[in-house]
Structure 1
Amino acid sequence: MLKILRFLFAIITMAFALYGMLSDDFSYAPLMFLFLGGAMLVMGIEEYKNNKKVSASCLVGVCLLLFYTSFRAMLGI
């Protein structure tokens, strides 16, 4: 289940990134960061289940940073 969710988040992130690159419209960048953060969170959970605590905590830290950046950009602060 986690692999499917990670793959889904990665595909959505790449779609937003590709759209931004091809159209020079970066208004969807906060959504791209949100889905990238979701992918990082799923990868962190997978690493935690594999008893790789250091890399899991790094991935969750990056996830929190991406969520913070995404919400801050969406609110226009």
Structure 2
Amino acid sequence: MLKILRILLAILTGSFALYGMLSDDFSYAPLMLLFMGGMILIMGIEEYKNNKKGLASLLVAVSLFIFYTSFETMLHW
């Protein structure tokens, strides 16, 4: 289940990034960051399940920073 969700979030992130690059319209960048944060959070959960606690902690911390950046950007949207 987590793998399917991670792949779905990766596709959404890539789609928003590709749209921004091709159209030079970066108004959807906060949504791209939101989906990327979710993808990295799921990667952290998967690493935690594989008993790689150090890498899992790093991934969760990075995802929290990306969520903060996304929400901060949405406030100024």
Aligned residues: 77
Q: Does 1:63 align with 2:63?
A: yes
Helix, strand or coil at the partner of 1:25: coil
Offset at 1:60? 0.3
Percent identity reads 73
- Structure 1: segments with no counterpart, 5+ residues: none
Offset at 1:23? 0.1
With structure 2 as the length reference, what TM-score do the two structures score? 0.98
What amino acid is the match of 2:62? V
Please list the CA deviations of residues 43-70 of structure 1 after superposition, one character each: whole Å capped at 9, or x if unmatched.
0000000000000000001100000000
TM superposition outliers: structure 1 runs of 4+ over 6 Å = none
| Distance in 2, Cα, partners of 1:58 & 1:5 | 20
- Structure 2: segments with no counterpart, 5+ residues: none
Q: Does 1:14 align with 2:14?
A: yes
What amino acid is the match of 2:66? L
Q: Does 1:72 align with 2:72?
A: yes
* 2:26 aligned partner: 26
Q: Does 1:35 align with 2:35?
A: yes
* 2:53 aligned partner: 53
| Distance in 2, Cα, partners of 1:76 & 1:53 | 35
RMSD: 1.0
Offset at 1:75? 0.5
